[in-house]
Amino acid sequence: MTTFVERLFGILLLFLGLGSCTAALAPFGTEEALRLDNDEKRIWNRAKEEQKRLDNSGQIYQAAALTAYVNEVAAKITPEPLKQKGLSFQIKIIKNPLLNAFAFPHGVIYIHTGMLARMENEAQLAAILGHEMNHVVRRHMVQQIRAVQNAAGTLSALQVVLLPLGAVGSIGQLLGAVGAVAAVSGYSKAAEEESDREGLAWMVAAGYDPREAPKLFDYLKRDIEELKKDEPFFFGSHPRVVERQDSYNRLLQTRYRDVKGIAETERFMDSVLLVLLDNAAMDLSFGRFALAQETIEKFLKRQPDSARAYFTLGEVYRQRNQKDDVEKAEKHYRQASQFDAAYAPPYRGLGLIWLKQGHKKQAREAFEKYLSLAPQAEDKGYIQQYLQDLPSSEANAS
């Protein structure tokens, strides 16, 4: 039985002719002025519509300092001749734990929180950004869509076909057809390798260590193998990740054999630290307990006194509910309260544990403490219902 990803790839191949090549377009920056053919203008206009829908969807991760940081890295690796000709990029962050980054053809690039959470340093960020930026500069989207006739009709048809494909179909609708190509299927092997090659050249020219590029794909491949299934996006596909890893390794063994550079680990980790907890919470909501736990522990190495981190780790254990997990959850909830006695969520967690164990008096006390600290909690109604079903303090006393 084919997987969802295989079916989606098949649909994209059918409609967009992926894998077939058209005559190469001149990269942006090689001509005096930016010139778009009529069909390319239509593709850009379609992409801008999809971008606007995505930007207004509530899926953008709102963190001004982090967004400024990733854009700073993008600007750092952009070659000066491109800057002089007015070519610029805008990087935005999507709050999604799945592994991905993708570019619209007009220079707007999105990276998932899940991808940032897996990275270890700025050099790895530069590698991903350089790859996506070169899809834009090399005009790969336009080349792919030109591989089929009646591109405008094909784009409309693609969205119709994506409709019945469940949860990822809804992502396809949000992205639109242009975004689906960029985010889900990727491009031809030749185009991807070109972006690897040119993106790596950009990051090396900016002083970054090229050896960090394939390391990121080691992490991604391990994640996919541990989950025992591919994710729906391009960088969550095991074959695609292996291709990128092999491509970078070939470049390291030849052109960049003796090249070294900076990694900028501290600066990167300081910038993305809060993303780790936010993304761990999203992984937890997906039931991806191992990834959530690993990310929280990564955070705690840098900020070991975080009440929120210990609470979220407690949630991982409580929801996973394997052998000894209840005891571990209770321990971490208590640690969270020790670091911040006014932080409400650990008391809800303790109340849920004790309620399930039948410790009604303790559960009531924990829930009451929770509501006293968070009187406007979103789940206030649920907690009040629990309290109605539990004996009152007076009844316990009698």
Helix axes 265-285, 307-320, angle to 10 degrees: 40
Q: What is the pLDDT of residue 387?
A: 96
CA angle at residue 376 from 371 to 382, to 5 degrees? Answer: 60
List 187's β-bridge partners, or say none: none
Can you name the CATH fold of 276-397? 1.25.40
**Residue 60 burial (10 A CB sphere; 0-12, 13-18, 19+):** middle
Helix axes 151-162, 166-180, angle to 10 degrees: 170
List 323's β-bridge partners, or say none: none
Pairing, β 108-112 against β 90-94: parallel
Taking only Cα atoms into account, the Rg of the chain, rounded to an integer number of angstroms, comes to 24
Q: In which residue are the tokens 């590029």 written?
A: 213
Terminal alpha carbon distance of the chain: 62
H or E stretch at 108: strand 108-112
Residues of the chain with CATH 1.25.40.10: 276-397
The phi-psi region of residue 111 (left if phi > 0; otherwise alpha if psi is between -120 and 50; otherwise beta) is beta
The token duo for 340 is 């911040």
- Rounded Cα distance between 385 and 381, Å, is 6
Side by side, the strands of the sheet bearing 101-103 are 90-94, 108-112, 101-103
Q: Residue 318's closest CA among 353, 282, 369, 344?
A: 353
Q: In which residue are the tokens 């999203």 written?
A: 282
- Rounded Cα distance between 327 and 317, Å, is 9
Secondary structure letter of residue 181 according to DSSP? I
Phi, psi of 37 (to 5 degrees): -70, 165
- Rounded Cα distance between 106 and 109, Å, is 9
Contact, 113 vs 62, CB < 8 A? no
Q: What is the pLDDT of residue 186?
A: 65
Report residues of the chain scoring pLDDT below 70: 1-24, 147-177, 179-186, 223, 226-238, 393-398
Q: Which residues contact 55 (CB under 8 A, 6 or more apart)?
A: 92
